[in-house]
Structure 1
Amino acid sequence: MDQNDRAAARQAVAENGERLLRLLRRSDPGAAVDAEWRVVDVASHLAFVFRGFGEAAGGTSAQYARYVPEEQDFHKRLATVNAMLVKELADTTADQQMTVAVGMVEEGIAGFLDATAELDPDAELDTPWYGPGVTRTPDTLTALALGELLVHGLDVARAAGVPWPIARAEAALVGGEVFARMLPLMLTDVGRATTVAYRVRWRGAPPQKPDLVIRLEAGTVRTGPVRPGERVDCRVSADPVAFLLVGYGRMPTWRAIGTGRIASWGRRPWTALKLPELFCRP
């Protein structure tokens, strides 16, 4: 991130944190979010997300290593860690659990922003839940935090039957950082067996915001800005909100394409439909 994006992302975490806390406090803890999670489970998940991010920034995240299973699949590993952590809050009524979780979310957001305020943006912070020895920078954790707030805020809002608008600029902050930094950790078996290169352009983003290249080859993935003379198989023009929701599994790819929010062209334009299959969902 550049300095402007960094400041905007931190402000977005603070503002979306406040509106999510307001939504959680007026929501039914037992309302179903999906087949497995209730609103109280989302709140409990976020409580540990922000506690973990804050402790990563403070250098005390090693304690989470004991929760991490020997599991290569990114999604399964995170799901197991989350289930073990959330279980620590589940020995009370849903209302009591909700009260504790919301308090932890509020404290965790403030603690994370405080802990990262003066850190070197390129500092390598230990994040054992992403895998043994994996580190992330404060910029990446800030974008991940914003993604958690935007996407899980939408989950809770849908359960409550209320709107949850997501700003295009904020979705672009998440997409430009999270997908660039996290996709190399998230290859599926299909992705490891695929050779393809995408170039993603963010609609409505500032002119200086670079396109994102995602190149899969020989079981590895490279993400980053376009290299001089670099050719790709599929060029994608994406509304940042649609790309965020597709990437996080909240919108089918066909719907984003069918409504024109994601468009593709180039030598292999049809591979845009395959993109979500190549990576685990965060």
Structure 2
Amino acid sequence: MAATVSEQRWRVARTALADQTDRFLDLVRATPPAAKATAHWSVVDTLAHVGSLAWYYVCLVDPEHRPLPVPGLHRQLPDITVDTVADFNDVLLRHLTERDPQALADRLRADVGQLLLASEGRRPDETVPWLGGARVPLAGLCAHLVNELLIHGHDVAHVTGRPWSLPGRDAALFMELFLAGVVRHGYGRLIDGGAPPSERPVVVEFRSAYAAPVRLMLHRGRMTFAAPDARPDARIDHDPGTLNLMMFGRVSRARAVLTGKVRISGRRPWLLPGFLRKFRTPS
């Protein structure tokens, strides 16, 4: 995999963010705001959550932007891990009390527009500080927000049974630009915990039709890129949307495999569960 993000992939990420914002807002407008989108959030809470991330991301790329009204936020960020992200989200929602759907939709659209404007002309691999002390490239920041729109769009669509697709081209950005980006630039404490350190290196290759393969190695508790000539212990051929839904707990691993949208192969596939206990996302 290339050491930097190409301008072409940067354009794809920016276009995907604009397109998926429009799709998500169209869906939310057509859904009862008080209906339950998840076990804990209504549709309007979900909109507020996605909006809080867009607001935060604008602050990361534009220091002049109005900060989030959360006291002590910057002191909390370095200690967050994937296992405590839910607590962080709850803190944001307690302080962001606006629940008028139109006001939230207008703010999300404005903040996404400002994020795209503030990052225009900048290098896609320029990094900003993120949760848990991770460093995220600008392209990865856009890719993460695209994934939030896709995953939470899936939650909202479930309320009324409306169809909601996770287009492969856009869903693939999460692995290619965000996850690979934080491994490349430093993930800090973000994935602390999970699997205990092991002396045996485990190499896993992720492959889809929409991006170059990503080959990662877990060794002694650290996640890095594997050497180009390293033989994978396991390969995951996947539909990116299904993989993302699986990683965020919306689709079970059994279902993802049985549908054929996540296919596991390789010489030592039994090592994959330990790898995934470390290489994980909030679910």
TM-score scaled to structure 1, two decimals? 0.85
Say yes or no: does 1:120 pair with 2:123: yes
SS of residue matched to 2:165: coil
1:201 matched residue in structure 2: 207
Shift of 1:181: 2.5
Q: Which amino acid counterpart does residue 267 of structure 1 have in structure 2?
A: R
SS of residue matched to 1:69: helix
Q: Distance in 2 between matches of 1:231 and 1:65?
A: 48
Say yes or no: does 1:97 pair with 2:103: no
Shift of 1:210: 2.5
Any conservation in 1 of the 2:247–2:280 contact (CA below 8 Å)? no
Q: Which amino acid counterpart does residue 132 of structure 2 have in structure 1?
A: G
1:110 matched residue in structure 2: 113
Shift of 1:146: 1.0
Any conservation in 1 of the 2:37–2:156 contact (CA below 8 Å)? yes
Q: Distance in 2 between matches of 1:101 and 1:56?
A: 20
Any conservation in 1 of the 2:80–2:88 contact (CA below 8 Å)? no
Structure 1, 268-277 or 158-167: larger mean CA deviation = 268-277
2:82 matched residue in structure 1: 75
SS of residue matched to 2:76: coil
Q: Can you list the C-alpha shifts for 1:200-225, whole angstroms capped at 9, x where unaligned?
A: 111x22xxx421112111111113xx
Unaligned stretches of 5+ residues in structure 2: none
1:235 matched residue in structure 2: 235
2:214 matched residue in structure 1: 212
Shift of 1:89: 3.3
Shift of 1:72: 4.6
Q: Which amino acid counterpart does residue 220 of structure 1 have in structure 2?
A: R
TM-score scaled to structure 2, two decimals? 0.85
Shift of 1:51: 0.7
SS of residue matched to 1:222: strand
SS of residue matched to 2:35: coil
Structure 1, 183-192 or 115-124: larger mean CA deviation = 183-192
Q: Residue 30 of structure 1 is aligned with which of 18, 34, 38?
A: 34
2:224 matched residue in structure 1: 222
2:24 matched residue in structure 1: 20
Give matches, 1:1-282, under 5 Å.
Answer: 1-59=5-63, 66-67=72-73, 69=76, 72=79, 74-90=81-97, 96-127=99-130, 130-132=131-133, 134-182=134-182, 184=187, 186-187=190-191, 189-194=193-198, 195=200, 196-202=202-208, 204-205=209-210, 209-223=211-225, 227-273=227-273, 275-282=275-282
Shift of 1:7: 0.8
Shift of 1:44: 0.6
SS of residue matched to 2:194: helix
Shift of 1:274: 5.2
Unaligned stretches of 5+ residues in structure 1: none
SS of residue matched to 1:159: helix
Any conservation in 1 of the 2:125–2:138 contact (CA below 8 Å)? yes
Give the RMSD, CA atoms, in angstroms: 2.5
Any conservation in 2 of the 1:151–1:245 contact (CA below 8 Å)? yes
Any conservation in 1 of the 2:44–2:101 contact (CA below 8 Å)? yes
Q: Distance in 2 between matches of 1:142 and 1:169?
A: 14
Structure 1, 169-178 or 189-198: larger mean CA deviation = 189-198
